[in-house]
Amino acid sequence: MVLAITVSAFSVIIGVNVLMAWFAVETFPGLEVQNTYVASQGFNQRLHDQQALGWRSEADLTGGRLTVRVLGRDGNPAPVADISAILGRPTTEREDTVPDLRFEGGAFVADVDVDYGNWDLRIDAHAADGTEYTYRVGLIHHR
Residue 75 falls within a domain, yes or no? yes
**Is residue 12 situated within a structural domain?**
no
Judge whether 5 lies within some domain: no
On the 0-12 / 13-18 / 19+ scale of CB atoms within 10 A, 133 is buried
Query: Which pLDDT belongs to residue 125?
Result: 96
**97, amino acid identity:** T
25 lies in some domain = no
Report yes or no on 49 lying in a domain.
yes
Tell me the pLDDT tens digit for each residue of 25-41: 887 776 666 777 877 88
Q: Which CATH number belongs to the domain containing residue 117 in this structure?
A: 2.60.40.10
Q: What angle do CA 35, 39, 45 make, to 5 degrees?
A: 165
3, part of any domain = no
**Is 76 inside a domain boundary?**
yes
**Total domain count for the chain?**
1
Task: Quote the domain boundaries for residue 59.
Answer: 36-141
Mean pLDDT of residues grouped by 10 in the chain (143 residues)? 93 96 80 75 89 95 93 94 94 90 95 93 95 94 77
